[in-house]
Amino acid sequence: MSTKKIFITVGIAFSIFLMSLPTISYRFLKDAIETEAFNHLITVRELLKHQVEGYFQERFGDVDVLARNPVTGQGFSRLSKAFHSSGLDGPQYTKMADLYQPLMEHYLIDYGYVNIFFVGKDGDVFFSAVKEEFTGTNLLTGRYKQFSIGQVFARGFDGVAFEDYTWHEELQEFTSYFAAPVYDGQMLLGVLVIEIPFSHLDAIMTERAGLGETGEMYLVGEDGYMRSNSRFSEAPTILQKEVDTEATMEAFGGIVGQKIIKDYRGVPVLSAYTALDLKFVNWVLLVDIDEKEALAPIKTVEKRVIILGSLITCITFLYIYLVNRKKNQQIIADSLAEESKI
């Protein structure tokens, strides 16, 4: 093989290598950027999962400790007797209520509760830190039996119970309940119920530092509806927005994962999802970011790769064209020279 042919062969091989290099590099870079984006979402997911579980476990522990407090048991006995003796407006009851009111208000202020209820085993709501429509009614026989407070009261006899968020018309906010049984020794006195606001959970879920313009974190209950607010909606989405995606189905199926899916808006997103490890709720947690934003650096590189690849391809074909043209001209020149000799 002549030196010229060797040079041409090496040149073509080197050109092919140059054309392939950007594509190969792009694929590695794309995988690296996607992996980094998912790793960030997973980190956020695990930290948020810990926060949410910690919040509810603290409330679970709070109501249990408060229900076991001897002062609470004493208050149940005294207030119940006064209520059945003179009603909510009687002097005996008022005297007892004034005695325990400061302590219950302390819990409201320090823990941020909406309300605390003392409910006798007969269903009478004989005390509340803040007077509500439930105060003085009966949760076993009255109209509130089927309300959230009635449901959590009924389950509170068997241990600490939780009732999901519902709309509180007077407060214009969603609230939920925890309940625990109150005993005097071995004798059941009733059930302590605390009411907590959604604003606590909302503050946790709306902390989106590090999630860019489209990143969001949200909770979904077993009924398929959000237990948090979407950053893409001005109106509340808790218990209003239904979410039925591949990620939620897998999370409810016990899968802890991450993948690119279409979210509840129909937008492709990078999603990291998991179920919460709480015995009293069946909720899943998702941390998403729009694919367009998460992989934006890849699009920039992709454009540059296309430009560079196109440039190298043009130069390569131009080189091959010029070499072939020169070769053809030489062949023609040689042919003419042979003809002239004849």
Q: What stretches of 87-187 show up as alpha helix (H) in DSSP?
A: 91-111, 148-156
Residues 241 and 263 in one domain: yes
Residues 225 and 179 in one domain: no
Q: 287 with 215: CB under 8 angstroms? A: yes
Average model confidence (pLDDT) for the chain?
87
Give the model's confidence band at 82: pLDDT under 50 very low, under 70 low, under 90 confident, else very high: very high
Residues 48 and 84 in one domain: no
Tell me whether residue 22 is in a domain.
no
- The answer on pLDDT for 100 being more than 90 is yes
Measured at the CA of 127, the angle between CA 121 and CA 133, to 5 degrees, comes to 100
Tell me whether residue 136 is in a domain.
yes
Tell me whether residue 329 is in a domain.
no
Q: Give tens-digit pLDDT for 113-141.
A: 999 999 999 999 999 999 999 999 999 99
**In the prediction, which pLDDT does 237 show?**
96
Tell me whether residue 17 is in a domain.
no
* DSSP H or E segment with residue 165: strand 161-168
- The answer on pLDDT for 208 being more than 90 is no
Tell me whether residue 132 is in a domain.
yes
- The answer on pLDDT for 20 being more than 60 is no
Residue 216 is classified by DSSP as E
Number of domains in the chain: 2
Tell me whether residue 331 is in a domain.
no
DSSP assignment of 228-297 equals: S--TT-SS--TTT-B---HHHHHHHTT--EEEEEE-TTS-EEEEEEEE---TT--EEEEEEEEHHHHTHH
Domain residues for the domain of 45 are 28-55+206-294
Give the model's confidence band at 146: pLDDT under 50 very low, under 70 low, under 90 confident, else very high: very high
Mean pLDDT in residue range 130-157: 94
Residues 131 and 245 in one domain: no
Instruction: Quickly tell me which residue has 């208050």 as its tokens.
Output: 75
193 forms bridges with which residues in the sheet? 117, 179
Burial readout 15-25 (b: 16 or more C-beta within 10 A, e: otherwise): beebbeebeee
Give the model's confidence band at 330: pLDDT under 50 very low, under 70 low, under 90 confident, else very high: low
Residues 100 and 177 in one domain: yes
Residues 247 and 162 in one domain: no
Residues 78 and 189 in one domain: yes
70-86 and 3-68 helices, crossing angle to 10°: 50
Residues 253 and 272 in one domain: yes
Residues 210 and 163 in one domain: no
- The answer on pLDDT for 6 being more than 70 is no
**In the prediction, which pLDDT does 63 show?**
97
Give the model's confidence band at 210: pLDDT under 50 very low, under 70 low, under 90 confident, else very high: confident
Final residue of a domain: which of 167, 198, 229?
198
The number of helices, as runs of H, and strands, as runs of E, in the chain is 8, 9
Mean pLDDT in residue range 265-283: 96
- The answer on pLDDT for 341 being more than 80 is no
Structure tokens at 120: 């006798």
Residues 230 and 254 in one domain: yes
Q: 213 with 202: CB under 8 angstroms? A: no
- The answer on pLDDT for 222 being more than 90 is yes
Residues 77 and 186 in one domain: yes
Tell me whether residue 277 is in a domain.
yes
**In the prediction, which pLDDT does 304 show?**
58
Final residue of a domain: which of 271, 294, 317?
294
Residues 122 and 228 in one domain: no
Give the model's confidence band at 92: pLDDT under 50 very low, under 70 low, under 90 confident, else very high: very high
Measured at the CA of 65, the angle between CA 60 and CA 67, to 5 degrees, comes to 100
**In the prediction, which pLDDT does 282 show?**
96
- The answer on pLDDT for 269 being more than 80 is yes
CATH number, domain at 261? 3.30.450.20
**In the prediction, which pLDDT does 28 show?**
66
Q: Dihedral sign for Cα 83, 87, 93, 97, please.
A: positive
- The answer on pLDDT for 16 being more than 70 is no
Weakest-pLDDT range from 28-42, 59-73, 186-200, 240-254: 28-42
Give the model's confidence band at 314: pLDDT under 50 very low, under 70 low, under 90 confident, else very high: confident
Q: Give tens-digit pLDDT for 283-302.
A: 999 999 999 999 887 666 55
Final residue of a domain: which of 278, 294, 310?
294
